[in-house]
Structure 1
Amino acid sequence: MDNIKALGIDKYTDTILISEWEGVKKPDARIFKAALEKLDVSAKDSVFVGGHPEKDINAARSVGMRTIWKKDHQWAENVNADFIINDLDEIPQIVSRLNLDLNPPWK
Structure 2
Amino acid sequence: MNSLKSIIFDLDNTLLWDERSIDEAFQATCGVVEQETGVNAEHFEHIVRQTAKQLFEQSDIFAWADMIEVTDLEALWGTFTAQHTAPLQKLSEMASGYQRETWFLSLQQAGIERPGLDVRLAQMFAAERRKRPLLYADTIEVLDVLRSRYSLVLMTNGSPDLQQEKIDSIPGLSDYFDHIIISGTFGVGKPDPSIFKHALNLLGLPPQEAIMIGDNLNTDILGAQQVGMSTVWINHHHVEALEDRKPTFEIRCLSELPSIIQTL
Q: TM-score, normalised by structure 2?
A: 0.33
Does 1:94 pair with 2:257?
A: no
Does 1:23 pair with 2:203?
A: no
Alignment of 1:25-104 (within 5 A): 25-73=189-237, 76-79=239-242, 80-98=246-264
Q: Which amino acid aligns with 1:69?
A: W
- Structure 2 distance, partners of 1:93, 1:5, is 29
1:94 CA drift (Å) = 1.6
- Structure 1 distance, partners of 2:176, 2:254, is 12
Question: Higher helix proportion, which one?
Answer: 2
Q: Kindly, what percent of the aligned residue pairs are identical? A: 36
Number of aligned positions between the proteins = 96
Q: CA RMSD in A?
A: 2.2
Q: Which is bigger in relative contact order (C-alpha 8 A, separation at least 6)?
A: 2
- Structure 1 distance, partners of 2:177, 2:229, is 17
Q: Which amino acid aligns with 2:236?
A: D
Residues 70/95 of structure 1: CA separation in 2 closer, same or farther (3 Å cut): same
Residues 94/13 of structure 1: CA separation in 2 closer, same or farther (3 Å cut): farther
Residues 66/49 of structure 1: CA separation in 2 closer, same or farther (3 Å cut): same
- Structure 2 distance, partners of 1:94, 1:70, is 12
Q: Which runs of 4+ in 1 moved over 2 A?
A: 3-6, 8-13
**CA contact under 8 A between 2:217 and 2:241: conserved in structure 1?**
no
1:97 CA drift (Å) = 1.3
**CA contact under 8 A between 2:230 and 2:248: conserved in structure 1?**
yes
Residues 10/94 of structure 1: CA separation in 2 closer, same or farther (3 Å cut): farther
- More displaced stretch, 75-84 vs 41-50: 75-84
- More displaced stretch, 61-70 vs 8-17: 8-17
Residues 34/96 of structure 1: CA separation in 2 closer, same or farther (3 Å cut): same
- Structure 1 distance, partners of 2:228, 2:201, is 14
Rg larger in 1 or in 2?
Answer: 2
1:15 CA drift (Å) = 1.3
1:20 CA drift (Å) = 1.0
